[in-house]
Amino acid sequence: MPDHYDFDLFVIGAGSGGVRAARMAASKGKKVAIAEASDLGGTCVNVGCVPKKLFVYASQFPELFQASCGYGWSQQQPASFDWSILRDNKTTEIQRLNGIYQQLLDNSGATLFNGRAIIESPHQLSVNGTSYSAKTIIIATGGWPYIPKFPGSELAISSNEMFYLEQLPESAVVVGGGYIAVEFAGILNGLGVETHLVYRGSQLLKAFDPEVASWVQQGMREKGITIYLNTEVEKIIQKDQQLVINLNQGESIQAGLALYATGRKANTAHLGIENTQVALNSNGSIEVDKYFQTAEPSIYALGDVIDRVQLTPVAIQEAMVLVDHLYGDNSLDIDYNHIPTAVFSQPELATVGLTEAQAKQQYRQIKVYQSDFKPMFNTLGGGSERIFIKLIVDQASDRVVGCHMVGDHAAEIIQGVAIAIKAGATKAHFDATIGIHPSTAEELVTLRN
């Protein structure tokens, strides 16, 4: 390394991907710096999957309390909910995780800068007014919620603010049809908020298998969420302490909160990209090749900012592949096929592999196995929620190429199935496996036409 470089590697963004890249490079003896303008851990730890999952847990208790009566438990006094306790306990847990990330970086030997790094040239950056040089730069700045501009849009909030509300409203409107929208609609509804979900499309969760998405949509309606499809918000008006949300269908909803979960965009503003040859895709994400290299040879990018698959474990794997490419033997790779994912909606959805439509395009003939049943828990606990499982098989090879599930513990179950699908398991392998009885998961090895 030429003496004039201050660092071998400078990482911009201390989310899961950025931190993994910094730690791995430092462990290989490289002089590493990492800069973060906000809290350590990125979106997932601070305003994403971790606090959101805690809120999902909180919102499930009313149904559990009700179900407990069928199992002999009596509630002498009705349960009450205190939003401030949940919010503040969540914040304490997030601060604990921030501390763990701090410790991981400290122990790795990487230098942490608190502030936004601005790229001044292909090998030069500045943080808090001080310039540093680096042989290689990695951009791992993630994404940021996007709220479109329309009359009254400034009255809406994004998912970022949802985790720090002063108080929970009596009613809320959630706008969007993706996983963030349906998850927050379930959270608000479960916490006792009158919840309306407005989506411009004809079906929620359009990126998923339509049949599976429709199960989630129906389940949400059964839990009391009012869903408006093929509908858009025209304007939002402040009226006293309430918001009036006017819809293009002529209706209006009065609510205490309007949450826009209409997607996220790559967080590249005020980064100094214009001082380099780094190219952006049409959606604003950073364009990279298979080795995560941008059009500027010294600059790489990974994670949500490149908008391939916006999942924390994917960003971590991308970081490992990239550092191995830069400083290892270039043996690591990332396969974007068969990535399992979950939507912590209520009911919960998890999936791995191809949808039915994708399988029909890819294979000459497929077989679809599915099951719809009442979970054992509800036999005494009551409740109308059912479980839906769908298995998709390539008929020629008998390989299982997709598995989708809606219902309790879907994410936990599909994670195991993902290993089998990644390993190339056939339907015969599933059929030959002894089930765990009684369990929901045993349905996967007893599916027959």
Distance in angstroms (rounded) separating the CA atoms of residues 50 and 68: 27
What is the phi/psi pair of residue 40, to 5°? -65, 145
7-12 and 143-145 beta bridge pairing? unpaired
- Enter the tokens of residue 89: 């306990």
Q: What's the rounded Cα separation, in Å, for the pair 338 and 340?
A: 6
Q: Roughly how many angstroms between the first and final C-alpha of the chain, as a whole number? A: 63
Tokens of 142: 């993630």
Catalytic site includes residue 196: no
3-state SS class at 384 = coil
Q: Give CA–CA dist 205/197, Å, rounded.
A: 13
DSSP secondary structure letters along 219-261: HHHHTT-EEE-S--EEEEEEETTEEEEEETTS-EEEESEEEE-
Main-chain dihedrals φ then ψ at residue 208, nearest 5 degrees: -105, 170
The burial of 335, by beta-carbon neighbours within 10 Å (0-12 exposed, 13-18 middle, 19 or more buried), is given as exposed
What are 416's two structure tokens? 């195991």
- Tokens of residue 209, six digits: 């298998």
Strands 341-343 and 349-353 turn out to be antiparallel
Q: How far is CA 388 from CA 33, 213, 323, 403, in A?
A: 48, 11, 41, 11
Helix (H, G, I), strand (E, B), or coil: what is residue 370? strand
- List Cβ neighbours of 318 (8 Å cut-off, separation of 6 or more): 17, 292, 302, 303, 308, 334
The single-letter DSSP state of residue 287 is P
The closest alpha carbon to 38, from 48, 27, 30, belongs to: 48
Give me the catalytic one of 4, 123, 338, 437: 437
Q: Kindly state the helix (H) or strand (E) to which residue 8 belongs, with its residue range.
A: strand 7-12
The CB-side HSE value for 410 (13 A sphere, CA atoms) comes to: 26
Instruction: At 84, list the tokens.
Output: 């401030």
> What is the dihedral angle through the alpha carbons of 303, 309, 310, 315, rounded to the nearest 10 degrees?
-30
Catalytic residues: 437
